[in-house]
Amino acid sequence: MKRRIGILTSGGDCPGLNAAIRGVTRAAYEMFDAEIIGIHDGYRGLIEGDYSLMTRSQFSGILTLGGTILGTARTPFRNMRVIGEDKIDKVAAMKKTYKELKLDCLVTLGGNGTHKTANLLSEEGLNVIGLPKTIDNDLYGTDFTFGFHTAMDIATGVIDRIHTTAASHGRTMVIEIMGNKAGWLTLYSGVAGGADVILIPEIPYEIEEVAKVVEKRAKNNKGFTIIAVAEGAMNRKEAKMKKKEREAKRAAEHYSAAADVASQLSEMVGVEARAVVPGHIQRGGSPSAYDRVLSTQFGVHAAELIRDECYGVTVALKGNQITHNALKDIAGVPKLVPTDDQMVSIARDMGISFGEKE
């Protein structure tokens, strides 16, 4: 039986997207008569009818390739039911493209926003399967998302390199790691990179406590300090603000978490503090071996779900098992770092500070 499968990648890019696309399509070609429609630039392509019929050869040689061969774009979920100046009903347009293409299934690769739209389309009657990607690892219902481990390796590598120059010059180095809402990437790379302080959005910090760490290390003849700070980390005063108020303040100040922390420490302690922002480097390049395997596992399971006509779900890793969750159960549910998470406890037991009062 022939299956026409539409596939798209939406939201920010990350390593492993192409490996996952390859996993879906290669398994589909092997298990049943598959026809793959590549939808360009995420949901924009589905809305505007921008797509192409793919050939099997187009999925060859992409396992190690970063980015996405389909292109991606951000189409915010909050705007999906909003008809703008273009007078386009986005949901109706996506359903129209799906039906015109005579798709049996739509596979969406993305993070939280992508999954919310995937669930919306599932509720509208389309056959949808999600694949969880994000370097933030903040998707509910899965232990890990693909892209996270590669980004962790890159962020850890940055911290490793900063260590040597920090030690050589006796500096306090503040490295800003991606993660606006969730601190998983900063937490894991901070532990892996040997950071002395880790600041994440889920645990509001006090700069005075961070300063104490820097001063204590100086007194113990440790002339440098490594601080890993998530881009969304906030102090206690900011944590009490409403989200819109905090975002407006930061936008007006062209805020950088690392620059702010470094500047305050320079004034308070008198140390030479430098901010380092690796930025989108953390999202680029070839996926790690772990992410290649995980992406492939996710992709193959998606093809199995298509074969079994099991729709309205997203693939997940739970323990050592590849499984799936109902889209309605996970869409819009963020997975933040619990303050009592085991990795947080491990870090504390090693003497790593989260900027809290002792």
Q: How open is the CA angle 148-177-64, to the nearest 5 degrees? A: 35
Closest CA to 133 of 181, 188, 72: 72
Q: Strand, helix or coil at 321?
A: strand
Helices within 109-224 (DSSP H only) = 112-123, 148-169, 184-192, 207-219
**What would the DSSP string read from start to end of 208-252?**
HHHHHHHHHHHHTT---EEEEEETT--BHHHHTS-HHHHHHHHHH
Q: What whole-number distance in Å separates Cα of residue 64 and Cα of residue 78?
A: 33
Residue 7 CB coordination number (10 Å): 26
Closest CA to 166 of 267, 270, 278, 274: 274
Active site residues: 136
Residue 281 CB coordination number (10 Å): 14
335: left (phi over 0), alpha (psi -120 to 50) or beta: beta
Q: What whole-number distance in Å separates Cα of residue 130 and Cα of residue 331?
A: 10
In sequence order, what are the residues at sequence separation of 6 or more whose Cβ sits closer than 8 angstroms to the Cβ of residue 83? 89, 90
- Asked if 258 and 174 count as a contact pair (C-beta separation under 8 A), the reply is yes
Q: Strand, helix or coil at 3?
A: strand
Q: What whole-number distance in Å separates Cα of residue 328 and Cα of residue 339?
A: 26
Residue 114 CB coordination number (10 Å): 30
